[in-house]
Amino acid sequence: MEQPQTDERARIPANPWRNNSWTPPRDMARPLSSFQESFILSACPPGARILSARFHRSVRLPCPIWVRIAPPHQEEQTFILRMDYTLHGVDREAAVLPALAKHGLPVPTILAGPVIDPTQPEAGSMMLLNVLPGQDLLSWAWNASPEEVNHALRLVLNGIERLHQLTEALKQEPLAAQLPQRTLQMELQEIVVDGGPWLNEPVFAQAVNHLLPIVASIQTPLAFSSGDYNQGNFLFEDENLTGFIDFTGACFEDPHVGMAMYWIYSWYPLDRAGIVERYLERQQLSFADFAPRLAIRCLRTLQQQIAVIGGEDLRDEDDFESHADYRNRLLGYLQRALQALS
């Protein structure tokens, strides 16, 4: 009997930059392979023991593994076995971390690696990092008071500005040739080239056609970006930022486009506290200035992560909303952006 054909529009896309080939260990409570254990201990004093290891999260795997070490005659230490679900992300981060440290940014130190575990090469590269002081602003702000949320918001915006300020220095480094350089026009052209069922949808195709001449006229100089401005990637103590983490998506891109992800991914609580609006105010940008950036990232996310139809009963991996709700929310942002550009 012939199998029924699945409507391509109902299929959730396989995100091209995600590692979908890695298989998690059977026992998630025992995350380390023998090779990984030996690799970690090779960076420790002789006689050190691994006390425990745990995955940083249970979704978007592979992900960092937190490892507690007992060195002989020393206090217990914690390291991070850096793995990531972004294809080649660890390699990019390994290239950029020394340059960032050279220019005074507090980032993790590479203690060993990067290497590939021969027992699980599909996991990609991994490396051993130290743990920076401070607490990440995501976990701290989750149940924070309004005043504390505003404090977190200010620190994230300060951190983003600090990353942008590294642009000229990093452009002079050999590293610059290794990092992607993406204008808004390039991002939109990639959407067209990658195709897929969304390009056959009138609302999507019309948005692309409307944006093409608009982004072609935008000449904003590219800025250095970590590629992920989520508040969890900024560490702090009291009034000061103490660390910057996650540079798997490091690149030179339009300086404002990354802020769209606060709305697209609903990065609570700062998205609801007005972080995008505060950023635009700081940069003296109107919503109409921001609208092409928001529209492009809506289009890219729809194309790479969301089916054109269906998904009412399918939750996203963080169990935040259904795929149908996610699609409708992004289409709403897209419509709002295009109205501002009309």
Residue 172, helix vs strand vs coil: coil
Q: Are residues 59 and 97 in the same domain?
A: yes
Domain-embedded: residue 9: no
Q: Are residues 263 and 215 in the same domain?
A: yes
Q: Which long-range contacts (CB under 8 A, 24 or more apart) does 157-162 make?
A: 157/275, 157/278, 157/279, 157/282, 158/241, 159/234, 159/241, 159/244, 160/229, 160/258, 160/259, 160/279, 161/282, 162/105, 162/241, 162/244
Count of domains forming the chain: 2
In order along its 342 residues, the chain shows pLDDT tens digits of: 444 456 889 999 988 889 989 999 999 999 999 999 999 999 999 999 999 999 999 999 999 999 999 999 889 999 999 999 999 999 999 999 999 999 999 999 999 999 999 999 999 999 999 999 999 999 999 999 999 999 999 999 999 999 999 999 999 999 999 999 999 999 999 999 999 999 999 999 999 999 999 999 999 999 999 999 999 999 999 999 999 999 999 999 999 999 999 999 999 999 999 999 999 999 999 999 999 999 999 999 999 999 999 999 988 888 889 999 999 999 999 999 999 998
**The pair of three-digit structure tokens given for residue 139, joined into one six-digit string:** 């976990």
Domain-embedded: residue 5: no
Task: Identify the pLDDT of residue 6.
Answer: 65
**The pair of three-digit structure tokens given for residue 250, joined into one six-digit string:** 């490091």
Q: Which long-range contacts (CB under 8 A, 24 or more apart) does 114-118 make?
A: 114/90, 115/39, 117/33, 117/35, 117/36, 117/39, 118/35
Domain boundary among 66, 96, 131: 131
Residue with tokens 């007992």: 70
How many Å apart are CA 270 and CA 279, to the nearest integer?
11
Domain-embedded: residue 228: yes
Helices (H), 109-267: 137-141, 146-164, 167-171, 184-194, 202-216, 260-264
Domain-embedded: residue 4: no
Task: Identify the pLDDT of residue 250.
Answer: 98
Domain-embedded: residue 193: yes
How many Å apart are CA 115 and CA 307, to the nearest integer?
36
Beta-sheet strand order (sheet of 181-182): 181-182, 251-253, 223-225
Task: Identify the pLDDT of residue 1.
Answer: 41
Domain boundary among 131, 160, 189: 131
- Check whether the bond before 13 is cis (ω within 30° of 0): no
Domain-embedded: residue 16: no
pTM value?
Answer: 0.94
Domain-embedded: residue 13: no
Task: Identify the pLDDT of residue 270.
Answer: 96
Q: Are residues 104 and 166 in the same domain?
A: no
Q: Are residues 98 and 240 in the same domain?
A: no
Domain-embedded: residue 23: no
For position 206, which CATH number holds? 3.90.1200.10
Task: Identify the pLDDT of residue 2.
Answer: 44
Continuous segment of H or E residues that includes residue 291? helix 287-305
Structural domain boundaries enclosing 216: 136-340
Angle in degrees, CA 244, 250, 252, rounded to 5: 120
CA distances 338 to 33, 35, 75, 190, 253, Å, are 50, 52, 57, 19, 21
Q: Are residues 145 and 121 in the same domain?
A: no
